[in-house]
Structure 1
Amino acid sequence: MAVSKRLRYEILRRDNHACRYCGATAPRVKLNVDHVIPTSLGGSDKPDNLVTACVECNSGKTSSLPNAEPVADVEQTTFRRADELKRAVAQPIGNDIQIAFHAHLIAVWQWAWGKRTHTEPTEEEAQEAFEGLALLADGSDFTSDRLTEIAFKAGSARSTDITRFIEPQLSNEQFSLGADAVNRWSTSWEAASQDVQPSMDELAEFCDDLHHLVLLLDATAQRDTVMAAAARAGQARDTSITRHLSALRTVGGES
């Protein structure tokens, strides 16, 4: 959406008809209203992203009353983020793609935030999330799909702490053990309850407990113990495999 003449004049009036970057004033220079963060990098047309700058302008003076309340001022975090983006763009190695991907991640985070709550994060919250996402994208070997998933989960939870949503990945051996343990647990549950299957909530609870457990184990060395614990938990119609594993002291226990 284009910036209206009225809003342009309000920005000029708020900034005392002086350039926010160098302080020059009219009529010595011609003034324009400029985006602090370019729209191509996710900047908005809201007052807190607009400033008076030393370029040709079209004034909307007649559209506003002289005694009207000033529009919202630009927050310093907006300037800081714009400066970070400009410095990053100036760097020589692959930064067009890097900046575009950073913008993609923060856009996903903001979209997920708004979709869940129908509200917008504050500038400070967006800045903190942007810094966390950029740091993670530049400092890890995660795939773009996984980074996008992390951004979505953080936004959906209305969180700026991006690291909370980094979950360890299962190895092939751990994944195989987990799948087999779920099958053993489910089969044992049905056998103990005359073919009544566990509910989806009970299955979800068991899988969550199992996931955290498998991450801590040597999936090859402790496979038999985990399978025995899964069988015990199923027979007891219990969603916790951890307490049954602790009861097994040797590999090759009851299965």
Structure 2
Amino acid sequence: MAVSKRLRYEILRRDKHACRYCGATAPDAPLRVDHVIPVALGGSDAPENLVAACEPCNSGKTSTIEGCVPAARIYQVPESPEALVSETEGLWITAFTSIYSGRELLLGQLDEVRAGVLDMRRLGISDELIKRSATVAGLRGDTFICLVETSDLETLAVTSEAFRLWRSIWHRTTGYAAWPDMQEILLFECSVEQAVNAGLDRFTILRASALTGHSQGVYIEDHLDPAVRSERGL
């Protein structure tokens, strides 16, 4: 079964748009989503069996046991989810209170942080990235622990701005009765980063994010001009 567009976004974002075999990064190297254990040998489409791979590495693999890298060597599941939740929650609290010392921490906020950690773990995100994401979210005053960590500060700034716009419009279109869930937030942020990597300007990204919020969607490319999508490969 082919890997869905949604799952491809998640895997590329999880692996930070870099080949897990040689370290080559986009846009210098075309990236694909590769099965660690080939489908021909019984490999599944589960996140722990999928990695970002550049074209040369992907082409060089074979459907033999010797040609595979065991999934456990690339993707590690935390031994204790409870320990991860506790440590990540502490990092978020430290970051949040360092900026918003005058605000009272509410139980509902901590519940959202804990739920976000577990959601990210289920999506196959590494412990280290979950913890870095929690710190950034705390500094932003957000409780949604998503993939907000990035080495590119400009990308982070545009993603953060687009997220706030999209989330607030989404909330308004529901009559202020509902918010996007963790899966929807993750997919939206992946979509925005794809747009940034494709070279779209800030205004175009924010406009598409607003339209995406109005439609309660997650993919901003659905609201781009077809010619732009074709030109940018989105």
If the length of structure 2 is used for normalisation, what is the TM-score?
0.32
Please tell me whether Structure 1 or Structure 2 has the larger radius of gyration of its CA atoms.
1
Higher relative contact order (CA 8 A, sep 6+): 2
- TM-score, normalised on structure 1? 0.30
